[in-house]
Structure formats: C-alpha cells, structure tokens
Structure 1
C-alpha cells in the first residue's frame, strides 16, 4: 500500500476534454481512497493555476498548480522524488518526470495512465524508456491495452484495464423532457427528430466521423423531413470552414446546427434535447461522452474500431458500427429513429450505465490495483 502518493497531471481544471474529465475523477477517487486508508495524497498540475482548482474534486491543501511553468514543475517533482512511495502519471507526456523520479528513487512505484491516440503511435526515446520503467500501466479500455501490447511490446501483465467512470458530480436527470429553452434557442419543435454529436472539431483530428453523419443527412431527410443534426464542440478556423463547406455542398443548411462550445452546465440539457447520440469515431481511447449521453438516457451509436466499444459494453448499452460504412451508419440511425425513444427506455439506459460506470465501482477497482 502506498503511504504517500502523488498524481502528476498536465492540465486538468482550466480546460475541458475527455482526459481532463477522467483525471478529475481519478483525482477525486484517489483523494477519497487516501482518506479511507490514511495515505498522504497530493495532486500536482503542470499547467493549471492554483485558482483553477475545482475544489469539489480535491481540497486546496492537496493541490499544487504551476501555471505553465513546466521547468519549475519538473524541478519541484524531482526534489520531492524521495518522499512518495508511489506516483501516478496522468499522461505519457510526463515521461521525463517519471524517469527522473525512478532514477533517483528506484523503490518508488511509477504508474502511467494510457488513454488513446497519445500512445497509439510511435513514441520518443524517453517515452519508450518510461514504458520499460513503469510498474503498472493503467489503460482506459481494452483496445488501448491491446495497442500497448502490440505496438510497444509491453508485457501483458504490466497493463491493467480501468474503464473511465461517470463524473461523480454529474447529476443524472430525473425528468426526461426536451428543454424548452433549447428548443427556442435553436428554433426547433418538440416533434423534430434530433441527432446530436459533441466532440472537438479539429483540423488535425479528422477521425471523429461527424462528416460521415453530415453526408447521411441528405438521405435521412427523405424519410424524416424534419430531422435536425446538432453538431457541438469548439472548432478551429480550418475545420469550421471545411465543415460549413461540406454542409453547403450537401444542401443541408436547414438541417445542421453548429453550436460551438457547450458549457458543461448545459450538457445534460443537450442530451435531453436529442433522440440519438452519434459519434462514429475511429480513435476514441474510451469516449467519456458516450457514458455521459447514456447517463441522460440517450441511445448511442459509436464506431467499432477503437475503445468506444468499452463505453457501450460491447453492444449491451449501444450500437457499434463500421465507421467507414455509410450505409451501415444510415441504417443504424434509421433503426433508432423508427423506434420511438420513450421515457422507460431512457430510464433503462440510464440505470444500466450508472450500474456499470459509477464511481463506487471505479474506486473498488482502483483500490484493488493499489493494494494487490
């Protein structure tokens, strides 16, 4: 058992994304386990400012934010390297920190969290060295574990799967009604069939599959003339221009609504607004957005070529399709829209998702990994 444990992170509270959300939940779980087991726990962030902390996850006295002063972050981490019995690195970009700690304090147990594309590619010398020095590699999905073994020849016994959990501070909705405020904002009607995608729209990451959905709207509106596709997420200039051009080329400007960034406080309402969540991505490490959608009782279509299948429990909670097969995508959307989304179905999906991806289960698995 670790008597002193430090979680080293890059950026957790000052921005929002899958890795950031996962790290918040991990930090909260480690804090609770430390209280339970009488461990000393610290949470260090290289890029967050001290004031960025969301103290519902961890208390202020546990947190250290270095505000992008990476050199100071590394120097402080090395100077403390003799104290912890265990460190957890939230990202492989912290490889140098892990290697220095292991060099100075070989008895310190070093763990790495492996998410997705950051470890599904050729790695630098330092990152490869870290993989050889780690005591455990915690993979967020079975797909990521397979990639670590196949691409980097990591011994299978070193890799452990710990699926992501629902954010402990996400409140599951109790009433399943489409929010009138959003219907008014987007000039919709209660009767409109609504598809929803929430993801980062980046010109450097054209693997999310939303352009595949856009290409199917032309066909879908023949069967569902009132269909709407809400595409949400911050975009860069190049990707915004590309997507808008694609929408215009397909003549579906009246069907597609690009909302831009959605504040987390409105996230649940957007899931309630929709009838189906669609993200046929090819490179999701896990896909926290899928379990967020399911927590709101929203059916999910994802890709079958990455870690998304863990989030839907291999088809138990959603439908995984070939992201390169437009006809399969279209048929999956039609199948869902043809079967009305009832309150009972929403409640069932919500209950099953919470049953499998709750923080209690997550903490139990984490406790087992820490004490085995």
Structure 2
C-alpha cells in the first residue's frame, strides 16, 4: 500500500534526449503521477539520458539518476546494478518500470525485499516474448499497464498472465501543441507546393527495423492515386538508416516529383506539418498504439492507419479514421483516393473541429490523468 509520503521508483529507458513512443508515454506518465500525488518522494532512473530538461514540468524535489554517460558496452549491467542497489537500500513502496525488460531486476527485488512492481507494455517489447526470465518477471508483476487493447490482448494470449492484473491506460498527447490552422505558407514554399496539391503526410522513424510503418505501401500506391489526383504529393518526415533504400524505390517508380523526404521534423514544426497535409497516413502493422495519429486528429486531419496493430485503438476501431489492410496496396490507394476526393463514407473525417474534440475527449491528458488515478486508487491512501 502506498501513502502520500511514500517512496516511488520509476525505471525509464530515456525521456529527455530522444523522442519516441515509450519516451513520450513515460513523460506523460510521470507528469500525471506528480500532478495527482505531489507529496510522494520520486526517484527516476533513466538508462540512456545524461541530464534532465528545464522544459519538462517535473516537481523540483524529483531525484533523477542518469546512466547515459556509461559506455554502451557496460550500460545495461551498470543500470541494472544501480536500480537493484537503490532498491535494496531505499526499499521503495512501489517500483514502476516503463519498459518490460527492466522487470527482471524488479522480480529479484521482489523476491529479496518483497517490493511490489508494475510495468508498462507498449508494442513490440510485449509481443512474442520467449525469454524465460522475462516471462517469469511478467507473471510475478503486481500490475502490467498496457497502452492499447491490442497489446493487452496479445499479452494475455501469449503469456500465462492473470487478466485482472493487465490493465489498460492508452497513450495521450498534448492538445495545446496541436491546433487546427490553415496550411502554413512557409512549408508550402519550402516544399514547392500550393493549396491545389493533395498532400499525404507520414511522420515516422525511417529505420530499417521499422519498415512496418507502411511508407513503402503508400509510395507503391501513389501511381494509382495519381491516376485520379495528378497533383497528389507525399511528404515523408523522419530520418534513419532506411532513407537510401526509400530513395531507390521512389526512383524506380519515377516519383521523384511527387515524393518529398522531409528529413527530421523538429517539434516546433510538427503541428505545422500536420496542418499542411490533407490526410495523415501510416498504414503500419507493428504499432503498439501510435501517438502520431492522435496529434494529426487534434489538428483536425483525416487519418488512415493499419487494421492489424495498436493503431486500431488509436482510431477507436474506425470511429476516428480509416483502417485498411496494411498489406493491401490497392486498398490503401483506393481509400486515400476517396479521402482526398471527399467521398470516404465517414462524415466525421471532414469535420475538423469534431475530430479534434473527440480525440481530446477520448485521449486527452485530462482523461489520461483520470484513468491513472482510477488505477492508482487501490494503491494510494490520500
């Protein structure tokens, strides 16, 4: 049982120096916890970060422990030793890990010192787990928080877990950062486009290990889309090791004038890029959830996602956007054509303010904080 003067350990891969789904979720999770329970003593252990950011609204008494300066060869053992050592020394009332891999250390702390632990399951980190030590750690966790119903269902199907211990706390987003605005002139000029162009946008990490994001399928769908919409233009934002292969694919399909690889999009331009597009499309088949969908919806944009991963949750099983078979290029093409022509049979797609309001109601930070409070109430006595 946790009390307001309790000690809480949070184990997080990183939060300040890299922006990804787990990092963003971890930041919102800590922010919500500290807003709800400001009197708890927070110790936050970060494996890859080297410093905190003044832009992050954490409580001034928060204690951060960084392992990012350690040589990569020794970082894992150093971090494991650190979290285990502090756990044995401080005996926190609860450990929460925002990555499943850290639960192996938490399991041993529970065995040695009876410290309860929770973990957060995101996506690929929680699927197809076959490591015996990790399976044991998950089975002995006091709670597992899943960011999507899809990941929860897979965990329960693949692991021997008590379903009452696996609970849902979906991703959230900062609605104040993503507003509905006209297409930004500076981006139209940057990319040599006009308001007559039908613009498709994807924002993803272009890493060879993340080809499941579906940008290949959109590129392959473009020749068919161009038959109906000659002025269509695809902007693919992100950087990574897959860029050269993508450029070859674009060249093979003779799409050099119809695709822009925008590179890394800084946070202060992300909202403008959503507002630049006419449809946000990422027909992924490996997303644990996909915060980018929420951000695009908050900008009032029609949104397309794959029907075989956690994006089903983000789009509320089709209530908030179009779900397609991520392996079916013809279906992707036809759906994007209908969306861009304004004929897709889902009127909410063309009502930006309603789209924004719905995604805020379902996935806004206030809802996230309320849901977290409901989860925590069995552990906290105010």
TM bin (shorter chain): over 0.9
- Does residue 49 in structure 1 map to residue 57 in structure 2? no
Q: Distance in 2 between matches of 1:11 and 1:267?
A: 21
Q: Distance in 2 between matches of 1:292 and 1:21?
A: 12
Q: Which moved more, 1:139-148 or 1:204-213?
A: 204-213
Consecutive unaligned residues of structure 1, counting only runs of 5 or more, are: none
1:47-91 C-alpha deviation (Å, 9 max, x unpaired): 1112x4354331353133222434443333223324311111010
- Does residue 8 in structure 1 map to residue 14 in structure 2? no
Tell me the secondary structure at the aligned position of residue 173 of structure 2: coil
| Equivalent residue number for residue 165 of structure 1 | 172
Q: Which moved more, 1:90-99 or 1:239-248?
A: 90-99
Q: Distance in 2 between matches of 1:34 and 1:263?
A: 32
Tell me the secondary structure at the aligned position of residue 210 of structure 2: coil
Equivalences, count? 364
User: What displacement does 1:203 show?
Assistant: 1.2
Q: Distance in 2 between matches of 1:105 and 1:53?
A: 33
1:136-188 C-alpha deviation (Å, 9 max, x unpaired): 000000110011111112221121011111136x4232x52000010111111
| Equivalent residue number for residue 116 of structure 1 | 123
| Equivalent residue number for residue 183 of structure 1 | 188
**TM-score, normalization: structure 1?**
0.93
Q: Distance in 1 between matches of 2:350 and 2:310?
A: 28
- Does residue 268 in structure 1 map to residue 287 in structure 2? no
Task: Provide closer, same or farther for how the CA distance between residues 233 and 370 of structure 1 changes in structure 2, counting only shifts above 3 A.
Answer: same
User: What displacement does 1:46 show?
Assistant: 1.5
| Equivalent residue number for residue 156 of structure 2 | 149
User: What displacement does 1:368 show?
Assistant: 1.3
| Equivalent residue number for residue 145 of structure 2 | 138
- Does residue 232 in structure 1 map to residue 237 in structure 2? yes
Contact 2:287–2:311 under 8 Å retained in 1: yes
**TM-score, normalization: structure 2?**
0.90
| Equivalent residue number for residue 21 of structure 1 | 24
Contact 1:135–1:158 under 8 Å retained in 2: yes
Tell me the secondary structure at the aligned position of residue 129 of structure 2: coil
What is the aligned-residue RMSD (CA, Å)? 1.9
Q: Which moved more, 1:12-21 or 1:332-341?
A: 332-341
Task: Provide closer, same or farther for how the CA distance between residues 342 and 151 of structure 1 changes in structure 2, counting only shifts above 3 A.
Answer: closer
| Equivalent residue number for residue 79 of structure 1 | 85
| Equivalent residue number for residue 256 of structure 1 | 259
Contact 1:176–1:346 under 8 Å retained in 2: no
| Equivalent residue number for residue 281 of structure 1 | 284
Aligned with residue 357 of structure 1, among 346, 355, 363: 363
Contact 2:221–2:329 under 8 Å retained in 1: yes
Tell me the secondary structure at the aligned position of residue 317 of structure 2: coil
1:28-47 C-alpha deviation (Å, 9 max, x unpaired): 11111221xx3222222121
Tell me the secondary structure at the aligned position of residue 228 of structure 1: strand
- Does residue 92 in structure 1 map to residue 100 in structure 2? yes
Q: Distance in 1 between matches of 2:219 and 2:60?
A: 44
